[in-house]
A and B are shown apart, each in its own frame.
Chain A
Amino acid sequence: MQEKPDKIRPALFGGLTIAIISTVPILSLVNCFCCAGVILGGFFSVYFYNKSVLELEEVELTHSDGIKLGLMSGGFGAIIGTIFSSLIGTNIQQTISKMMEYSSELPPEFADALDMLGQHQEGFALIVLGLMMSLIIDCIFGILGGILAVTLLTKKKVN
């Protein structure tokens, strides 16, 4: 039985897709549609993994591969995205102050929480908080993208 191809590289590619879509200002609007960017990242990781799988005769794409790839790409995406946003200056703290400044339409509870966080937390803690939220969201939607990709990319029987 042949060994399955390495999952790290396709997952990293998927993660990079998620990070770019989540960080680049206009592109990030895609995520407003139920995290479509993150789902796309999970989808891409399976797509590229599937390319390596097709080269091997005895190996087949499974849904557990899709789940693992989606989870990994979501994790990578959250970490790389947080690094990117810290580097290009769109970290959560700046997002918070921007939101406070420009949006009078925020739910007041949201604004309160932002205010409290701004008063009591250091910048690093806010980045960690943003990372935690991104990890949860990106992993969930990455898995959904991974499963969906396996379903849509395989023919008739999936093993």
Chain B
Amino acid sequence: MKFKHKSIFKSHNLLYLVFLIAVTMWCFLIIAAPLLAKLEYRFASGMIYMFFSKICHQMPERSFFIFGKQLAVCSRCTGLYFGFLLGTIVYPIIIKLRSNWIPAKKYFFLALIPIFIDISVRFLHIAENTFTSRLITGLILGATTVFFILPGFLSLGDNSENKVTIQD
């Protein structure tokens, strides 16, 4: 009797689902911190704030507030992570999960330009960036990055050793 060994991770759809759940959970945690604080679960909320403090400055004047409490990360990070989630949701609509197609590298660097300009103008005291500029530049980079990361992750589901085509 022959058994066909097939890893559960040898499926693009399943891998995509795992990725989507992970990204959604991450974004949910960002909102969960103020939500839990509002519901008086102060310790749980505080632990989430503490967790995200390792990756974000969490300055209140640069953060969005919901339920009267600030999000677990600043406006730029909020843009990046929610942009990443948006990109992950949109990805299978634009590209077939099995195609493993990656856009040209220049698009990744192009997506870095707005955020670089936004940071530079403030750093060089040319102008002050705003909530909107931080959010939008974060969204652009976050949503673009998905298209360079997700195909690599999905390629784990290929039988023929992770073949990925990168556009020139």
Closest residue on chain A to residue B47 by CB atoms: A113
Contact residue among B36, B77, B149 (Cβ-Cβ distance under 8 Å from A34) = B77
Contact residue among A34, A62, A107 (Cβ-Cβ distance under 8 Å from B162) = A62
CB-CB under 8 A from A83, the residues of chain B are none
The secondary structure that dominates the B interface is helix
Indicate if the CB atoms of A105 and B149 lie closer than 8 Å.
no
CB-CB under 8 A from B77, the residues of chain A are 34
Q: Does B91 sit within 8 A of A, measured CB to CB? A: no
Indicate if the CB atoms of B80 and A34 lie closer than 8 Å.
yes
Per the bound structure, the CA–CA distance linking A155 and B36 in Å amounts to 46
Q: Does A80 sit within 8 A of B, measured CB to CB? A: no
Q: Shortest beta-carbon distance, B148 to chain A, in Å?
A: 5
CB-CB under 8 A from B58, the residues of chain A are 106-107, 110
Q: Does A111 sit within 8 A of B, measured CB to CB? A: yes
CB-CB under 8 A from A155, the residues of chain B are 166
CB-CB under 8 A from B36, the residues of chain A are 109
CB-CB under 8 A from A134, the residues of chain B are 54
Q: Shortest beta-carbon distance, B86 to chain A, in Å?
A: 15
Binary per-residue interface labels of chain B (57-77) against chain A in the complex, 1 for a CB within 8 Å, 0 otherwise: 111100000000110000011
Indicate if the CB atoms of B152 and A114 lie closer than 8 Å.
no
CB-CB under 8 A from A154, the residues of chain B are 166
Q: Total interface residues on A, using CB and 8 Å?
A: 38
Per the bound structure, the CA–CA distance linking A110 and B151 in Å amounts to 37
Indicate if the CB atoms of B152 and A66 lie closer than 8 Å.
yes
Indicate if the CB atoms of A31 and B55 lie closer than 8 Å.
yes
| CB-CB contacts below 8 Å: A98-132 with B | 105-114, 116
Per the bound structure, the CA–CA distance linking A144 and B153 in Å amounts to 9
| CB-CB contacts below 8 Å: B94-108 with A | 102, 105, 108
Indicate if the CB atoms of A31 and B45 lie closer than 8 Å.
no
Indicate if the CB atoms of B59 and A113 lie closer than 8 Å.
no
Per the bound structure, the CA–CA distance linking A137 and B29 in Å amounts to 13
Tell which of A8-16, A47-55, A145-153 binds the partner: A145-153
CB-CB under 8 A from A35, the residues of chain B are 55
Q: Shortest beta-carbon distance, B1 to chain A, in Å?
A: 31
Q: Does B56 sit within 8 A of A, measured CB to CB? A: yes
A-B contact pairs, 16 of them (CB 8 A): A34-B55, A34-B81, A35-B55, A63-B156, A105-B59, A107-B49, A109-B37, A110-B49, A110-B53, A110-B58, A113-B45, A113-B49, A148-B145, A152-B148, A154-B166, A158-B164
Instruction: Given A63-B155, A64-B162, output 20 extra A-B contacts at Cβ < 8 Å.
Output: A31-B55, A32-B56, A62-B161, A63-B162, A107-B69, A109-B37, A112-B42, A113-B43, A113-B49, A113-B50, A137-B54, A144-B149, A148-B145, A151-B151, A152-B148, A155-B166, A156-B166, A157-B163, A157-B166, A159-B163
Could you tell me which B residues sit within 8 Å of A by CB distance?
A: 33, 36-37, 42-43, 45-47, 49-51, 53-60, 69-70, 76-77, 80-81, 102, 105, 108, 145, 148-149, 151-153, 155-156, 161-166, 168
